[in-house]
Structure 1
Amino acid sequence: MSVTIYTQSSCSSSRKALKWLKENNIAHTEKRITSQPLTLAEFKNILSMTEDGTDEIIATNSNDFKNLDVDIEQLSIQELYQLTQKYPRMLRSPIILDEKRIQVGYNEMDIRRFIPRKVRAFELNALQKLAVE
């Protein structure tokens, strides 16, 4: 399983997520969206994996977004993609994904979904044994 994490260098949540991935020996590829903008294919893939579409990945409270004064609902995918190319900080970060899952932002409980199932089952079994003792 390969995990890709899209980060921003100034983002503390991105740093926490990277640290967690390293501490848990999760193989990952980091891509800094401020210096390596998303490709159109990556952008479409991320959007296709979200449950809430643009609401999940666009940081509407970011200064970049506020200064644009645009209605996202009126933009085509191509237009939105072009905006994120020009203003990558309007994307939430980190964006963590593998072939089946996506997580936007850092949440200590939710990020555990990227631990392989066998490892999670082993940890759960160990905890259950401790609880019985």
Structure 2
Amino acid sequence: MEELTFYSYPSCTSCRKTKKWLVTNSVKFKERHLFKDTPTKKELMEILTLTTDGLDELLATRGETFKSLGVDVGELPLSEVVTLMINEPKLLRRPILTDGKKLVIGFNPDALKGMAK
């Protein structure tokens, strides 16, 4: 299995719950601070290929950052939306966990069990 990458933000409750779950279940992972070590364009594109709902799964549409954009992301080319997410990592739902084959977004113990195998 490829190494599990855990994109998180320390003050995020879901991130803390997920990290606790990973540690408690002895799952090895590499943690990356979502705002200090933002995924690259290539990494975000790879993450998007693992989603079932594309951008809807990755974008934090209820957050103030998204609302303050005042744009319809459905009208933008994918490359522009990805650039927005890199420039404004608060647009990303968190945490994001991936091993390159599977993806878990948010705190989801059932999905995490699939990652731990």
Q: What TM-score results when the alignment is normalised by the length of structure 1?
A: 0.82
Q: Unaligned 5+ residue runs, structure 1?
A: 117-133
Alignment pair present for 1:111 and 2:107? no
How do 1:85-96 and structure 2 match up within 5 A?
85-96=86-97
- Letter of the aligned partner of 2:51 in structure 1? T
- From the CA coordinates, give the structure whose radius of gyration is larger: 1
Distance 1:111 1:57 in 2: 17
User: Could you tell me how far apart the structure 2 residues matched to 1:9 and 1:25 are?
Assistant: 20
Distance in 2 of aligned mates of 1:115 and 1:28 = 10
Q: Structure 2 regions of 5+ residues with no counterpart? A: none
User: How far 1:93 moved relative to its partner?
Assistant: 0.2
Bigger helix share: 1
Whole-angstrom distance in 2 between the partners of 1:28 and 1:113: 14
In the other structure, the counterpart of 1:67 is 68
The whole-number CA distance in structure 1 between the counterparts of 2:101 and 2:48 is: 13
Match of 1:82 in 2: 83
1:102 corresponds to which residue? 103
Note the 1:14-29 alignment, pairs <5 A.
14-29=15-30
Please state how far the C-alpha of 1:18 moved relative to its aligned partner: 1.0
CA RMSD of aligned residues (A): 1.1
Identity across the alignment (%): 35
| CA positional deviation for 1:77 | 2.2
